[in-house]
Structure 1
Amino acid sequence: MSTASLADHYRALTDEQLERLFAARPDLAVPVPSDFSVLAQRAHSRMSVARALDHLDRFHLEVLDALRLVGGAEHRADRKRVLDLLASAPAGTGSGGSAAHPVPDFSVRRVLDHLITLGLAWPDGETVLRLPTVLDEVTSRYPAGLGRPVTTLVEDERTEDLAPVLAALHLPAASQPEATVLIGEAFGDSVRLAALLDACPPEALVVLERLASGGNPVGAIRDVRRPTDPTDADSPVRWLLVHGLLVPLDASTVELPREVGLALRGDAPLGPLHPTEPAPTADAAAPAITPDRIDGAGSGQALEVLRQTTTLLDACAAEPPPVLKAGGLGVRDLRRLARTAGVDEATAALLLEIAHEAGLLARTPDADPTWLPTAAFDVWQATPAERRWVQLAGAWLAMARMPALVGTRDDRDRAIAALSAEVTRSAAPTLRAQTLQVLVEYPGPLTHADVVSVLDWRAPRRGGRRRDEVISEQLAEATTLGVVAQTTLTRYGRALVTGEDPVPLLADLIPDPVDHVLVQADLTVVAPGPLEPTLAAEMALVADVESAGGATVYRVTPESVRRALDAGRSGSELQAFFGARSRTPVPQSLTYLIDDVARRHGGLRVGAAGSYLRTDDPALLATVLADRRCAELGLRRIADTVLVSSASVQRVIDLLRGSGYVPAAEDAGGGLVLGWPEAKRAPGRSNRAVPRGASEISLDRDYLAGAVVAVRRGDEAARTARRAPVLTQQGEADPGAALGVLQQAARDRARVWLSYVDAHGGVTARVVRPVSVGAGYLRAEDDRTETEHTFALHRVVSAIRTPE
């Protein structure tokens, strides 16, 4: 590669062309290169070229392979030969057509122009395109699946090893390097090579055709040995070896020479090309699914996700799981939370990861950190359902994490924990967006194979087994969240992916919150839809969720009634609550339950002694004292109605409740201690920027235009420096003349070459534009950096006007 010639090519581009280059390869413009030579070096660095190739589709890579094939070792491709080569190649049946047909010339020229725009090829005159040599390092060594020329393969072999090949090809005996030349000439003769292939045994021809059409010209064969005499070729492979149609690389590997591959491919030297991406279509035999049904199924799943997320975070608040020493959430804690929410561990890990990304869950900053909901969780719960969903789905779409990795093993065979750093993958948001974009562009329902085929064409270098698994995982996550239903994007999911506002679309699908419940005789309470926030909070306090879904079923139990009484509700208030909120008559069984628990609630009082236990019923106190289940409290009678214990108040209350009693706490004045259970919360955290790789940088138009101006100024300054006049030594110049030049340049706003003595005593030169001269100082602007500098006039050595 000639960096200077590439720099000249960039220098000759228009501003618009440079902006397109920077937009297509933003890593070239961040930071802005100082001049075109630096830009050329950066554009052909290994990492930058590999990043540019990763964004090319299959047809661009096929055209690039044609350039490499024609360019050879010199990396100089004749444009006409490339166009002829591509014109002779048929388009594959997988590109959207039903039969092979020539690739349109305008498609090839368009791709060539784009490769030039990207800097992956550049013109050297009117007929030649040059290629960066680093392409050989970041791409396959076999362009278009063809092997290396036969002369390259045999040039390092010994004379005695090539003697049988010369004999089999009826060539005169010769030593190296003449033997290589003779073999190259024989394989370069198309007529002679065709005759040799016609003479191949059928079994040997099958081996050649497999290597010529399989995309890899290298094959593994056991015990590769070339016969010492052509008559000793006792197997098809040994026949090919002795005739030079296969060349051994080592004791178990052979390579098909390029000339043989081209001869076998005939009129399709590059194989079938793929100028257009495969266009998947919905299965005609599949039953038709209306958009309303898709949206209905998706919105139901969206409501379920909101409920599950709330349950998971409430469970974290009730019993905060500790943060592992290595970071993340332990397997047992994840299993417990999943069981509480009624979901599998994979779904629990997904929702916890999303909640953490959305700022609803965080680790506490203390010495023994735990995972707790943040204050933002309380705000989130009070917002409408559609906005809560958008916050979760938006966090999932942008997060650089792959929750599906939770539970798998890392490189050191350690289990990957949820909420740990090992789940982070910088490519996750890009691949997630690409996967969903396929669903945006093509009507569903699409299969996993359909999505993979499109992405494999759009970015084949990013393919592989793991990529296909990730696509399947992300489609499953989108279905869990309600973005996708029945392998089709919902309408509000499409709005989310395309950057529109999904709130109005989802709000129309979610039923309005209901303000009533239906109390049943078996102490169950049915919520016929999503409840109003205040009603939902009251129901969570007075009853336990028995089953969730479109209609949530609660069950009222003695424990749930006691929980409400502990929070400050009275029995009469609970009776009034159910009477006002239930659309069905309140059954007597519920009335009796509330009255019974309310009558017994607070019959025992617990205070601090450690703690004490008192009651107005001495018989009840005697029962507690005699109860073996309470023995570990160390209760001791100090009066007919008072017991004391060294255990804490909360410990006494918990054990008594576990034994079937209904105690209540009291303060020092003897009043009941009532109140809503305190919600544990972690400190909120600032919004984090989504980690993005350099390949995902997005530059706006102002930055692109500024980068073009800066690189042109820098290049002009660098070229001017190379043409700088010889600097005079201090004392040799005429200061008076320099002062006159500077004053005139300031009046004309002209540029000058300024030579001055720097702080180290050396003479330095730079191009500046004088602004003012006076009071012993020169103020001047540097056009390249757009900054102003001040120079002491007594340090100026010389000043020479430069042409604009």
Structure 2
Amino acid sequence: MTSSLADHLRALPDEGLMALIRLRPDLVIPPPSDFSALAHRAQSRVAVARALDGLDTFTLEILDALRYTRVGHTSSVEAVLALTAPAGVEAARVRAAIDLLRSYAVAYGPDPAVRIVGAVDEVCSPYPLGLGRPAEQLDPMAGALVSDAAGLRRTLLAAPPAARAVLDRLAAGPPVGTVTPASLEPGSDSPVRWLVDRHLLVSVGRDAVELPVEISLVLRRDAGPLGQLHPDPPPMEAPQRDPAQVDRAGAGQVLELVRNAEALVETIGAEPPAVLRSGGLGIRELRRYSKTVGVDEQSTALLVEIVTAAGLLGEEIVDTKRVESVFLPTIAYDAWRAMGIAARWHRLAVTWLTMTRAASLVGQRDDRDRPINALAPELSRPGAPAQRRAALQVLADLPPGATAARADVVEVLAWRAPRRITRGVSAGVEASLAEAAFVGLTGFDGLTTYGRLLLEELASDVVDADDPLGLNSPEGIALIGSAALLDTLLPAPVDHVLLQADLSVIVPGPPEPGLGAELELLGTQESASVYRITADTVRRSLDAGYSAADLHALLARRSRTPVPQTLTYLIDDMARKHGGMRVGSANSYVRSDDESLIAEVLADRRLQPLNLRRLAPSVLTSRHTPQRLLEALREAGYPPVQEDATGAAVLARPKVRRGPPRPTWAYRGVEDPAAGVRLSTPRLAGVIEQIRRGDAAARVARRAPVTVRANGAATASHTEALEVLQQALRDKTRVWVGYIDAHGATASRLVRPVSMGSGYLRAEDERTEMLHTFALHRITAAVPEEG
């Protein structure tokens, strides 16, 4: 029979070790040297807390039952079954929970002698099952009361309603309550004082009371010693909808998400905002973008975070001396914009699922009572990706088309991982579900079919977080999986428009990239599917190099309805006037073959601030720049064209600025070095082989001459010494400690360990009644006291 975790791990087959490492990959990052080191790491406080964080409520209740039924250092499965039988829980479910604890190496050993690793008592409640200490240990008078069963029953029946409510609250656990000192003073009429006077509660300080375990068990007689168990998650009301209806709702939001993301980045590119010294985006800019895009500020903040994390938005330094930067679209944005809607959504959705940013915190106050801005470093939350996936997984476990309220999802998550779900985390889960609806993964509070497939892809590593679209694959941007499924739900891109008599342009579906670029130049977007052609947009097209014939041909080719005659006249009229006036630099000049037009401009009072001077019948000069002169003439209603030094017209297509993306480390991350790590089977086999070889070498070394002796016994491994100390701490036994003192000399001392942590061992020398502190790195050996 194995008595230590190291022996238990050493006896496991390779398959069992692989299962353990898959559940707790942090144990092999970096790979331990031998099984003693692996056991030491598995029993550390941090590793045990991380393992318990992933266990559900029922498994933790069974762990408490093992702790409560311990006799010495071991418990048994039969003792736990006897304790859970009154609660009506099936024995198979109890055994399955214990097996799960064994698979996590939180418990180990055969059914008659199950051991629990020591750090469990450190990270869990000091009151297993919510039960306090024995009455005799707390107070002799309380011990006398509980020894008289009839007297205890009469006292409980005599308790006033307020006092009985206090007892029921403490009986449910934990058994310790905090009260005001005044309520414990003699003569107080508080229900707590009534209970203390009758020894139903025991005062354990100026402001705390404790309920003895015997009284708790009497109060729990209906539910059993364990109290209320929770073998199943709370029921959910899941109204059923047609899965196709849920998919259509999600697909509609996908179109909105992609359109809003494109509008946001284009707006930022037109007038790049400055990066705050704190690293975020200003509140005024966020509000302005919210009005421009047409969504609320919280959704705009989420959109900003997603496009930045996806690499579509970056920063560029504009002043190296003062280190000032602005936000700019990146080159990746141009590639993203050229893709189809499904591929564009896929990148945004994967980014949202994997980014370590909590956009829901934008607008809240930090610890210094300052508002948190979008893109600020304070929004980094390493656990955000796991939280989003956990919330969506609850929906994924429901049948297709089933919907669920957000509060119900929080309750199920609180059962699945009670140590992780706190009040703040509950708000984060609800925010994650709201963001999932905004991203288009859910519709009518139900998970879409393509959203379900995307979660499966992420779980199976089909999607590469660094290359979510598969751009580096031989297939290029070919749609696969969830993106291909979504593409079948979206309306097909259209290559035509419907021209109306009022010069509006209706796009009967998402425009293909070529049509979208033409519409952006030729019209002004009024809604998702409506553009409007005006004199300014026609001039803008002519400035970009189109001729009147080009525009007529473009409209004839793209429109499925006749081109309105008013639009034809507008284009011809603007083309006839376009270029009739030229602007150059004198600082700048205006020239035209139409001398009457030059005279009209010179006499125009609106242009007097330009200080125009007539050099010739067809030439005017100005001290202002050509750009300023162009703007002034256009504001006055003239259609000038800029020309260069050779007299050629300068095309006015705006120059697009692009900046480098932000560092990806600010957005991608994991909760800890091992979270989210998936080790392949060959790599697992290599790690296990390395541990077994290291363990064999350590056993050979233990047979070699020892370096430190203590009371006739010795240890040769510092790691094994730490394991001996941990066992002595759990067993509360004495141990010989060999160490290097302050003068560099070897010494030994017989002590009883009190605590070990933060790099130090604190132990009591019972012979001198002194407490000694040893640095762990100076300890060379540890041997249990013999006999």
> What TM bracket, shorter-length normalisation?
0.7 to 0.9
Which of 108, 113, 116 is matched with 2:94 structurally? 108
The letter of the residue matching 1:46 is R
State the distance in 1 between where 2:698 and 2:503 align: 86
Map of 1:523 onto structure 2: 503
Paired with 1:294 and 1:362, the residues of 2 have a C-alpha distance of 35
Name the structure 2 match of 1:57.
56
Q: CA deviation at 1:137?
A: 2.9
Alignment of 1:410-429 (within 5 A): 410-429=366-385
Displacement of 1:371? 1.5
Residue equivalent to 1:382:
338
Paired letter, 2:210: E
2:550 to 567, 570, 573: 573
2:16 pairs with 1:39: no
Give the aligned partner of residue 353 of structure 2: 397
Contact kept? 1:281, 1:442, Cα under 8 Å: no
Q: Which amino acid aligns with 2:82?
A: D
Alignment of 1:637 onto 2:619: no
Say whether the 8 Å CA contact 1:146–1:217 is kept in structure 2.
no
The separation in 1 between residues aligned to 2:296 and 2:191, in whole angstroms, is 57
CA offset digits 1:586-640 (Å, max 9, x no partner): 2222122222222222232111222222223344334444545444444333333
Aligned partner of 1:690 in structure 2 is 668
The verdict on how the C-alpha distance between 1:220 and 1:183 changes in structure 2, with shifts beyond 3 A counting, is: closer
The answer for the alignment partner of 2:531 in structure 1 is 554
Give unpaired runs (5+ residues) of structure 2. Answer: 463-480, 708-787
Query: Cα distance 1:587–1:117, how it changes in 2: closer, same or farther (>3 A)?
Result: closer
Query: 1-side partners of 2:242 and 2:189: how far apart?
Result: 66
Matches within 5 A, 1:434-473: 434-443=390-399, 444-473=402-431
Where do 1:434-513 residues align within 5 Å?
434-443=390-399, 444-499=402-457, 501-513=481-493
CA separation of 1:184/1:32 partners in 2, compared to 1, >3 Å: closer, same or farther? Answer: farther
Structure 1 residue corresponding to 2:197, chosen from 207, 222, 242: 242
After superposition, give the CA deviation of every residue in 1:394-442 in whole Å (9 maximum; x if it has no partner): 2112212122222222222222222222222111111111111111111
2:287 maps to a residue whose letter is: R
Instruction: Check if 1:659 corresponds to 2:636.
Output: yes
- Kindly provide the amino acid, as one letter, of the partner of residue 83 in structure 1: L
Question: Which aligned pairs between 1:112-261 and structure 2 lie closer than 5 A?
Answer: 112-123=98-109, 127-154=112-139, 180=140, 183-184=142-143, 186-187=145-146, 190=149, 193-201=152-160, 203-213=162-172, 215=174, 217-221=176-180, 223-225=182-184, 227=186, 236-261=191-216
Residue in 1 that maps onto 2:696: 716
Q: CA deviation at 1:665?
A: 0.5
Aligned pair 1:291/2:262, yes or no? no
Distance (whole Å) between structure 2 residues aligned to residue 260 and residue 534 of structure 1: 78
Amino acid at match of 2:94: V
Of 585, 589, 608, the residue aligned with 2:562 is 585
**3-state SS, counterpart of residue 378 of structure 2:** helix
Residues 731-772 of structure 1, C-alpha deviations (whole Å, 9 max, x = no match): xxxxxxxxxxxxxxxxxxxxxxxxxxxxxxxxxxxxxxxxxx
Distance 1:354 1:679, change over 3 A: same
Instruction: Please name the residue that 2:292 is paired with.
Output: 340
Partner of 1:81: 79
Residues of 1 paired with 2:185 and 2:146: CA distance?
18
The one-letter code sitting in structure 1 at the alignment partner of 2:14 is D
Q: Secondary structure at the match of 1:637?
A: strand
TM-score of the superposition, structure 2-length normalised? Answer: 0.81
CA contact (8 A) 1:226 1:242 kept: no
Matched, 1:616 2:575: no
Aligned-pair CA distance for 1:277: 2.2
Residue 519 of structure 2 is matched in structure 1 by: 539
Q: CA deviation at 1:215?
A: 5.0
8 A contact 1:517–1:526 mirrored in 2? yes
* Equivalent in the alignment of 2:575: 598
Displacement of 1:247 in angstroms is 1.7
1:657-710 deviation line (CA, Å, top 9, x unaligned): 233322211011112112533222223578668311233332222232222222
Asked if structure 2 preserves the Cα contact closer than 8 Å seen for 1:147 and 1:218, the reply is no
Instruction: Indicate how the Cα distance of structure 1 residues 317 and 204 shifts in structure 2: closer, same or farther if over 3 A, else same.
Output: closer
Deviates more, 1:601-610 or 1:560-569: 601-610
Alignment check: 8 A CA contact 1:606 1:613 kept: yes
Q: Is the 8 A contact 2:77 2:95 kept in 1?
A: no
CA 1:340–1:207: 2 relative to 1, 3 Å: closer
Q: Closer, same or farther in 2 for the Cα pair 1:589/1:456, shift >3 Å? A: same
Classify the secondary structure of the residue corresponding to 1:111. helix
Indicate the residue corresponding to 2:623 in structure 1: 646
Q: Distance in 2 between matches of 1:188 and 1:134?
A: 34
Corresponding residue of 2:716: none
Tell me the distance in 1 between the aligned counterparts of 2:22 and 2:111.
Answer: 26
Summarize deviations over 1:101-122 as a string: whole Å, max 9, x none: x111111112112212322223
1:608 and 1:202 map into 2 onto residues whose CA distance is: 94
1:385 maps to amino acid: I
Change (3 A) 1:624 1:222: farther
The secondary structure found in structure 1 opposite 2:692 is helix
Contact 2:176 2:208 survives alignment (8 Å): no
Q: Is the 8 A contact 1:226 1:241 kept in 2?
A: no
Aligned to 1:739: none
- The TM-score normalised by the length of structure 1 is 0.79
Question: 1:469: how far off?
Answer: 1.6
Deviation at 1:522, TM superposition (A): 1.0
Q: Give how far 1:467 is off.
A: 1.9
- Aligned letter for 1:520? Q
Higher deviation after alignment, 33-42 or 535-544: 33-42
Separation (CA, whole Å) in 1 of partners of 2:357 and 2:192:
50
> What RMSD in Å do the two structures reach over aligned CA positions?
2.6
The residue aligned with 2:26 is 27
The residue type equivalent to 1:462 in the other structure is R
Match of 2:712 in 1: none
Percent of aligned pairs with the same amino acid: 49
Q: Distance in 2 between matches of 1:278 and 1:38?
A: 40
SS at 2:555's partner residue? helix
- CA distance in 2 between counterparts of 1:200 and 1:344 reads 56
Letter in 2 for 1:263: V
Q: Which has the larger radius of gyration?
A: 1
Runs of 4+ off more than 6 Å: none
Residue equivalent to 2:263: 311
Greater Cα offset, 79-88 or 688-697:
688-697
Give the corresponding residue for 1:703: 683
| Deviates most, 593-602 or 41-50 | 593-602
Q: Which runs of 5+ in 1 are unaligned?
A: 91-101, 155-179, 728-804
SS of aligned partner of 1:609: coil
Distance 1:618 1:436, change over 3 A: same
